Amino acid sequence: MALTAGIDAGTQSVKVVVYDDQARRVVASAHAPLELTSGDDGTREQHPDAWIQAVTQCFADIDLDVRGRIDAIAISGQQHGFVPVDADGQVLAPAKLWCDTSSTEECEEITDAVGGVERCIELTGNPILVGYTASKLPWTRKHRPEAYRRLAKILLPHDYLNFWLTGEAFCEYGDASGTGWLDVRTRTWSKDLLRATDPERDLSQCLPPVVETATTFPLRADRAAQLGLARDVVVATGGGDNMMAAIGTGCVVPGRLVMSLGTSGTLFAYSDVPVVDPAGRWAAFCSSTGGWLPLICTMNCTVATTTIAQLFGFSVRDGDGHVASTEPGAGGITLLPFLNGERTPDLPLGKGVLTGLTPQNASPGNFYRAAMEGATYSLKYGFEAFASAGMAFDHIVLTGGGAGSAAWRQMVADVFGMPVHVLRDAEGAAFGAALQALWALSKSKGEDTGFAELVDAHVAFDEALACVPRPAQVQAYQEPYQRFTEHLVAVKQIYAS
């Protein structure tokens, strides 16, 4: 019997799940919250020490006997963050996160230096978008020059936690493809993009080696003692949270569409070949299973519902009750939920916009529904790029915190006109990391298990939570969605960078 642990280091919290592959169930889990440092200039930062404290707390909350039987662990980490590390392995500054939009100007500088958006896509498969790691380097050079001078390692959040666990600096193709520097077609670093990021310094010397997914590393003895783990535990490569969620939701073969309703919202699907859009409407990322993961990302999802709930003094746990008292369209209220700026559509300087308010529709329920609808419509807007490229799907697998809402699950089914399936194990990214650890462990023992075989054996769905689209409601959402897209056209003129 093997127990494997998946660690999901997200924006709002760290979660750990321990999975029993024989019983095929999660046998333990723990959670520790994280704080976010925000600034009016779009700054969104966390110090990596907080991640370590949260990981340590999570393992301390798991029974010692369970911890002692863990054989392998893997990290799922929030993508795109920049952790600057010096030659002695010390963190030089807080990590700038995926939702940090303070480096919008630097995105434009890199894009101009390399010859424009089309040239970026030609070189790597992706434009340089705000939030990607690349723009955080010139921002740091300008605003934290001493940290930049001492920079020896460029690490992503999940890379840094692996470094802390193993003492080895390395990355993998899935998470690396979200830096803006990796040519996803060839899986090599783009010298042109690195040069455009800093023409006076060879940044490739700061990038860790990219290792294959099956690679494992020994856990440091002091970390094993600190976390209450056995000395012979191995650390798998792990990956970005979206890549691990793809494993945890079974999205490792073509034809499966996954939607994650977390702080950010994502839509992704697996492909055996690179799927690059010349217009850059989706992220042409690599998967962490040897393939590719075309992905749509919105920067504002549950953050919108949480903000509105806090505004009216209730918990999101009570949100479904408020939605039940309202109808599709929120009485005419439309919320464009660009509270953190936005990636899809590409409005890094965007702000939340509320329209259609009257004395008759001004209720907490309509405000909350408008937030839920706005987050869903943003994903629908992105999905239309997939559909226009000929991608077709017959159902959606839903994961993330928002998937715990019955009202939101049904809304997704009705807005997208597709059945919705929900995982039995709700923490898709953490569970996916546990499965990635299990797969890497099996490979280290000489077994030849494929990812498709693995997920078919271990990924299960809760049929009681499944939703099917209701024709009348599908029709009812069409006019509000059209209204959302019309408002979006107007807002683009206001917040275009």
Residue 301: HSE in the Cβ half-sphere, 13 Å Cα cutoff:
27
Residue 372: HSE in the Cβ half-sphere, 13 Å Cα cutoff:
31
Helix (H, G, I), strand (E, B) or coil at 396: strand
- Count other C-beta atoms under 10 Å from residue 328's C-beta: 20
* Amino acid code (one letter) for 185: R
Round to whole Å and give the CA distance between 133 and 488. 27
Asked if residues 340 and 351 have their Cβ atoms less than 8 Å apart, the reply is no
Q: How many residues does the chain have?
A: 497
DSSP H/E element including 481: helix 478-495
Round to whole Å and give the CA distance between 239 and 176. 9
- Active-site positions? 241
Q: What is the DSSP letter of 179?
A: S
Round to whole Å and give the CA distance between 172 and 289. 10
Round to whole Å and give the CA distance between 240 and 238. 7
DSSP H/E element including 68: helix 64-68
DSSP H/E element including 36: none
In 115-230, where does DSSP find H-type helix?
A: 117-124, 136-143, 145-149, 157-166, 173-176, 191-197, 221-227
* Amino acid code (one letter) for 174: G
Nearest to 433 by CA among 12, 69, 72, 152: 72
Round to whole Å and give the CA distance between 375 and 264. 9
Pairing of strands 153-155, 188-189: unpaired
Going through 10-160 in order, the beta strands assigned E by DSSP cover 13-20, 25-33, 37-38, 44-46, 70-77, 83-85, 95-96, 153-155
Asked if residues 296 and 416 have their Cβ atoms less than 8 Å apart, the reply is no
* Exposed / middle / buried, residue 22 (Cβ in 10 Å: 0-12, 13-18, 19+): exposed
Helix (H, G, I), strand (E, B) or coil at 149: helix
**Terminal C-alpha separation, the chain:** 54
